[in-house]
Amino acid sequence: MNTMKRLILSTLFLTFPLAAQEIKGLDKEFYNAYLDSLPNEKKQRLEMLQKNLVTVLKRVIPREDPDHGAAYAPNIKAETMQFEEILPNSPFVRGMQKEIPGFRMDKHMFIVKSGPYLIYAAFAVNPRLYVTGESQRFLIRRAEATHE
């Protein structure tokens, strides 16, 4: 019976893997897991920019349009606004500089659209990197929001 136990035990050890075993490719798995754990800078910068633009909208709209803006401002979210960074060499920016009294270009300029509002917001500091306020702004309230 002793030999029978030995035979059964040796068969079990050969068929079941040991708890600690060498696996190839763990270095690759670790490296990929490390890269996946790093923060996504592009996403963080977009979130910071959206936060700054929403703050500008919530502050400027009620001040510039006291009749309608106070009711509209609490509903402003990053998902409901559209924005575009504009460049100084744009013919429209040159036109704005010529036509709008006091218009001044800055390093970081954006047009932000939310509902019936269009806002020009300029920043001296990069709003993608820092919490900052606008250095200049102009607001236009259209009679109706167009769905373009």
Asked if residue 75 belongs to a domain, the reply is yes
Q: Is the pTM of this model over 0.85?
A: no
Q: What is the pLDDT of residues 42-93, one digit of tens each?
A: 999 999 999 999 999 999 999 999 888 889 999 899 998 999 999 989 999 9
- pLDDT at 148 exceeding the cut of 80: no
Average pLDDT value for residue range 100-128: 92
Asked if residue 77 belongs to a domain, the reply is yes
**Cβ distance 69 to 119 under 8 Å?**
no
- pLDDT at 139 exceeding the cut of 60: yes
For the chain, how many structural domains are there in total?
1
Asked if residue 5 belongs to a domain, the reply is no
Chain-centroid distance of CA 87 in Å reads 20
H or E segment and range at residue 22 = none
| pLDDT for residue 10 | 60
- Give the domain range for residue 134: 41-141
DSSP letters spanning 37-68: HS--HHHHHHHHHHHHHHHHHHHHHHHH-TTT
Average pLDDT value for residue range 108-137: 92
Asked if residue 13 belongs to a domain, the reply is no
Q: What is the pLDDT of residues 113-124, one digit of tens each?
A: 999 999 999 999
Asked if residue 88 belongs to a domain, the reply is yes
Asked if residue 25 belongs to a domain, the reply is no
Q: Which two tokens stand for residue 35?
A: 């890269």
Asked if residue 102 belongs to a domain, the reply is yes
- pLDDT at 147 exceeding the cut of 80: no
| pLDDT for residue 6 | 63
Q: What is the pLDDT of residues 3-30, one digit of tens each?
A: 666 656 565 555 555 556 777 888 889 9
- pLDDT at 133 exceeding the cut of 90: no
Asked if residue 11 belongs to a domain, the reply is no
